[in-house]
Amino acid sequence: MIEDKKGTILPQLQAARKAKQVMLKLGLEQKKTVLAGIAEALRSHVGEIITENRRDLERMNPLDSKYDRLLLDESRIESLAKSVLDVSKLADPTGQVLSSREVANGLRIEKKSVPLGVVGVIYESRPNVTIDVASLCIQSGNVCLLRGGSDAWYTNSFLVRLIQDVLIQQHLDEHIVQLLPTDRELVTELLEATAFVDIIIPRGSQSLIDFVRQNAKVPVIETGAGVCHTFVDDSADLDMAAKIVANAKISRPSVCNSLDTVLVHRTVVSEFLAKLFPFFVESKVTVFADSESDAILKSLDFPHLENAQESDYGREFLDLMCSVKVVASLEEALEHIANYSSKHSECIVSENQQNITTFMESVDAAAVYANASTRFTDGAEFGLGAEIGISTQKLHARGPFALEKLVTEKWFVTGQGQIR
Amino acid sequence: MIEDKKGTILPQLQAARKAKQVMLKLGLEQKKTVLAGIAEALRSHVGEIITENRRDLERMNPLDSKYDRLLLDESRIESLAKSVLDVSKLADPTGQVLSSREVANGLRIEKKSVPLGVVGVIYESRPNVTIDVASLCIQSGNVCLLRGGSDAWYTNSFLVRLIQDVLIQQHLDEHIVQLLPTDRELVTELLEATAFVDIIIPRGSQSLIDFVRQNAKVPVIETGAGVCHTFVDDSADLDMAAKIVANAKISRPSVCNSLDTVLVHRTVVSEFLAKLFPFFVESKVTVFADSESDAILKSLDFPHLENAQESDYGREFLDLMCSVKVVASLEEALEHIANYSSKHSECIVSENQQNITTFMESVDAAAVYANASTRFTDGAEFGLGAEIGISTQKLHARGPFALEKLVTEKWFVTGQGQIR
């Protein structure tokens, strides 16, 4: 029992709802001042943050894959401070007039962007999420309820205390940013708090996301899995294709925008695989090959080769592994993608403009690429700043879910006594 | 057993997914031609539509409140045809460039609006929904799966057959618009068909919406209840306030944007209720009054008076009934609304600009009004054309859910071999 267990988060929910009103009155300059204060607080408390972080690390096996994600050191804390300042430089997504009209009866009808209200975020052991989410929510005028993993309790408690001290110094309600206890039952309370919480964002593993989706009554924005294909067309520049495929697989295999399946046009498969060969050998990529590509790779003595099973298509590898399939046409590639894609990021490498257009228009995904690595699907790369994740759903936010989508719309109707 | 029961809608789901590709290639002119064909088909089959509609009506008790909703006659069929043509005049919501930038590495990154894909709509006995939804989906490039009530089976079957004949005549895939069988188990199949259906819209009673929300795995857009308040400020023009309140309650009490609770500033309550009195007496409105307003209305001999219980606040009456509460201040009104509102439409009647601004900024609702009836919350009144309903949720669509929101976003990234 490392945290306070009261059996309910109702007081925190109520305080969040009250703090919403404070946020609505906060101008951009004041939000920037708060974020500058948070960056400054991080920089001036490096030693204490590391001490609290060690208390968490001591409770974890250093061989656990979560250990590195949990670890904060001087340079990581400095990047956190920098990322807070980066967020403060982004345009205010609220208060934008999205449409404005005066209708025949004289009513003025304006639609403006406004904060979502109270944002609940459920995440795991990364303490950087605490700082990222808090700064994105402050800049977009939202109150946030942070439910981090119990592994990071001491670190998160200290970071949130730092933020709350900045809020208090600036004469603002400290409940704008709150850390919730980590009991499992209290997560359920958060997921069902439709009267207090406007949106829940799960950030972490697929099992966490599934749990939230299945149990939430509050609307959820999902950041889902990425099963990403790259199709090498018969007109492709094969040197370019090999570099794009290698980069999409190798540069960071553990992330959702990395490549999972290469589809290659039969006409160019031998030449293409020969060009891809040195990249994959050097990085020890394991290939799950269909029979045609298997024969070619065998003849090249490719070292890490497996026979692809049906389940290796539509599989998110998140590792130095990928599946390869030979196709007879663009149409066959499109059909494969329609059947196996998770609608995240899909790419064609081609010099045929007609094929590029057909591919980009037909493929149903958050991001479609021509002649570039799918690894670019990212808020910062797309020029949106920090992101909360990549949304693979179609409602509200699709693709990088960044500051500009932490808002909703509101209709302002002004009359002089109009009745209907 | 009036319809085909196969135990699965899989073939229809598969046909819908295939038809998506046809829709992506349809230009605005072609969509207009389809809608013109549908309007024409409705006009040239009035007799047969009425015959099929009678087969449904004969199965229903004429005293059932659904009887009138189900009934189609010559003039209603003509309005259906007109509404199809109205939809065809709306701007194409797809293909709009929402953002476009070339980033430092030379990648061109465009965000465009695209159809949602396959839209499932679950509704009850109104056959006009069949025509409204089909025309909105065609104009926005979406395939639609219509699951109407079994009460309207013959009518809906005939209407959908008419639409499909138009599609076939125009050499298009008839599966762009499909009617689903009405078995309860097959609704569940639709609600779980995440591989085929992109969005589900329930349209009808609260119990239908609740059923869909609880059982859907496909994302849902809800059009929820409206618990609407009007606050009469101490600075209000009381003649205007009485007319606005009367209109908001009386003009169409059965709809979601009608008034449920009047909040009145104590300073003006006697004078205001005296002015409201004749409107409410004439229309036989029942008032659930708090003790202060009860005393005043009693002294006026108001005929339809009840003591308000706690449950009469936050209650959606959908009838010639409303609750009244006296408040001491704008702040008390705001607090009441925050506690009881369903976040649909909320109004202040006031001549004090400061109070109007505070009210409109602070109240968390899809639409906020100053000095006009909440009855205006409607797609057509807001200049958006036909609507699928009023969304009280904050994600994707808020307020009138019309053609412009039947789209999602898609990122188009074009490179020359960029890797990360």
Domain assignment present for A419: no
Q: What's the burial of A398, exposed, middle or buried (CB within 10 Å: 0-12/13-18/19+)? A: buried
CB contact under 8 A, A396 and B398: no
pLDDT (0 to 100) of residue B411: 98
Find residues 317-346 of chain A whose CB sits inside 8 Å of chain B: 338
A240 with A187, same domain: the answer is no
pLDDT (0 to 100) of residue A206: 80
Whether B129 and B118 have beta carbons less than 8 Å apart is answered as no
Domain assignment present for B395: no
Where residue B6 falls among pLDDT bands split at 50, 70, 90? low
Point out the residue among A243, A408, A412 whose CB comes nearest to the CB of B394: A408
Residue of chain A whose Cα is closest to the Cα of B257: A420
B198 with B237, same domain: the answer is no
Residues paired with A168 in a beta bridge: none
A348-387 pLDDT, tens digit per residue, is 999 999 999 999 999 999 999 999 999 999 998 998 988 8
DSSP A340-389: H--SSEEEEE-S-HHHHHHHHHH--SSEEEEEE-GGG-STTTTTS-SEEE
pLDDT (0 to 100) of residue A283: 97
List CB contacts of B113: < 8 A, sequence separation 6 or more. B93, B94, B95, B96, B98, B407, B408, B409, B410
B51 touching A (Cβ < 8 Å): no
pLDDT (0 to 100) of residue A2: 44
Domain assignment present for B236: yes
Q: Residue A49 is encoded by which pair of tokens?
A: 């943050």
- B-chain residues near A416 (CB < 8 A): 371-372
Quickly tell me which residue has 């089909």 as its tokens: B134
A280-316 pLDDT, tens digit per residue, is 999 999 999 999 999 999 999 999 999 999 999 999 9
Residue of chain A whose Cα is closest to the Cα of B245: A419
Q: Residue A403 is encoded by which pair of tokens?
A: 């500051």
CB contact under 8 A, B409 and A418: no
pLDDT (0 to 100) of residue A6: 56
Point out the residue among B246, B372, B393 whose CB comes nearest to the CB of A107: B372
Q: Residue B186 is encoded by which pair of tokens?
A: 């097959």
Where residue A67 falls among pLDDT bands split at 50, 70, 90? very high
pLDDT (0 to 100) of residue A217: 87
State the residue range of the domain holding B155.
10-222+401-414
Point out the residue among A240, A361, A367 whose CB comes nearest to the CB of B411: A367
Give mean pLDDT, residues B348-369: 97
A98 touching B (Cβ < 8 Å): no
Whether A377 and A389 have beta carbons less than 8 Å apart is answered as no
CB contact under 8 A, B366 and A420: no
Q: Residue B26 is encoded by which pair of tokens?
A: 């349809």
Q: What is the CATH number of the domain that holds A321?
A: 3.40.309.10
Where residue A48 falls among pLDDT bands split at 50, 70, 90? very high
Burial B269-279 (b: 16+ CB within 10 A, else e): bbebbebbbeb
A261 with A217, same domain: the answer is no
A21 with A165, same domain: the answer is yes
Residue of chain A whose Cα is closest to the Cα of B375: A420
A77 with A104, same domain: the answer is yes
A214-254 pLDDT, tens digit per residue, is 888 898 888 878 999 999 999 999 999 999 999 999 999 98
Nearest C-alpha of chain B: how many angstroms from A151?
Answer: 31
Domain assignment present for A33: yes
Give mean pLDDT, residues B96-109: 96
- B-chain residues near A198 (CB < 8 A): 394
Residue A40 has pLDDT above 70, yes or no: yes
Where residue A193 falls among pLDDT bands split at 50, 70, 90? very high
Residue B1 has pLDDT above 70, yes or no: no
A17 with A139, same domain: the answer is yes
B28 with B134, same domain: the answer is yes
Nearest C-alpha of chain B: how many angstroms from A361?
Answer: 7
DSSP B306-353: EEPPGGGSS----SSEEEEEEESSHHHHHHHHHHH--SSEEEEE-S-H
Domain assignment present for B337: yes
Dist CA A334 CA A69 (whole Å): 37
Domain assignment present for A139: yes
CB contact under 8 A, B394 and A243: no
B306-332 pLDDT, tens digit per residue, is 999 999 999 999 999 999 999 999 999
CB contact under 8 A, A383 and B103: yes
Domain assignment present for A2: no
Instruction: Report the domain count for chain B.
Output: 2
A174 with A216, same domain: the answer is yes
CB contact under 8 A, B417 and A247: no
A33 with A97, same domain: the answer is yes
pLDDT (0 to 100) of residue A204: 81
Point out the residue among A116, A395, A411 whose CB comes nearest to the CB of B399: A411
A21 touching B (Cβ < 8 Å): yes
A409 touching B (Cβ < 8 Å): yes
Residue B4 has pLDDT above 70, yes or no: no
List CB contacts of B99: < 8 A, sequence separation 6 or more. B109, B110, B111
Q: Residue A63 is encoded by which pair of tokens?
A: 């061989």
Chain mean pLDDT for chain B: 94
Nearest C-alpha of chain B: how many angstroms from A294?
Answer: 26
B238 with B359, same domain: the answer is yes
CB contact under 8 A, A24 and B362: yes
A192 with A238, same domain: the answer is no
Give mean pLDDT, residues A173-197: 94
CB contact under 8 A, B371 and A116: no
Find residues 363-392 of chain A whose CB sits inside 8 Å of chain B: 364-373, 375-377, 381-383
Residue of chain A whose Cα is closest to the Cα of B340: A195
Could you tell me what percent of chain A has a pLDDT over 90? Answer: 87
- A-chain residues near B371 (CB < 8 A): 414-418
User: For residue A90, which amino acid is it?
Assistant: L
Find residues 262-281 of chain A whose CB sits inside 8 Å of chain B: none
- A-chain residues near B366 (CB < 8 A): 410-411
CB contact under 8 A, B370 and A21: no
Beta-strand relationship, A399-402 and A387-391: antiparallel
Whether B23 and B176 have beta carbons less than 8 Å apart is answered as yes
Quickly tell me which residue has 């090959």 as its tokens: A289
In chain A, how many H helices and how many E strands? 14, 16
Dist CA A292 CA A270 (whole Å): 10
Q: Which of B411, B412, B414, B416 to mutate to test the interface with A (most CBs of A within 10 A)?
A: B411
Asked casually if ipTM beats, i.e. exceeds, 0.95, the reply is: no
Q: What is the CATH number of the domain that holds A209?
A: 3.40.605.10
Residue with the bigger pLDDT between B31 and A68: it is B31
CA A27 to chain centre: 27
Find residues 178-197 of chain B whose CB sits inside 8 Å of chain A: none
A235 with A217, same domain: the answer is no
Residue A271 has pLDDT above 60, yes or no: yes
Distances (CA, A) of A128 to A146, A287, A388: 12, 34, 11
Point out the residue among A17, A251, A410 whose CB comes nearest to the CB of B366: A410
Residue of chain A whose Cα is closest to the Cα of B398: A409
pLDDT (0 to 100) of residue B184: 85
Domain assignment present for A128: yes
- The greatest distance separating any two alpha carbons of chain B, rounded to the nearest whole angstrom, comes to 82
Give mean pLDDT, residues B238-250: 98
- B-chain residues near A409 (CB < 8 A): 398-399
Point out the residue among B368, B395, B419 whose CB comes nearest to the CB of A395: B395
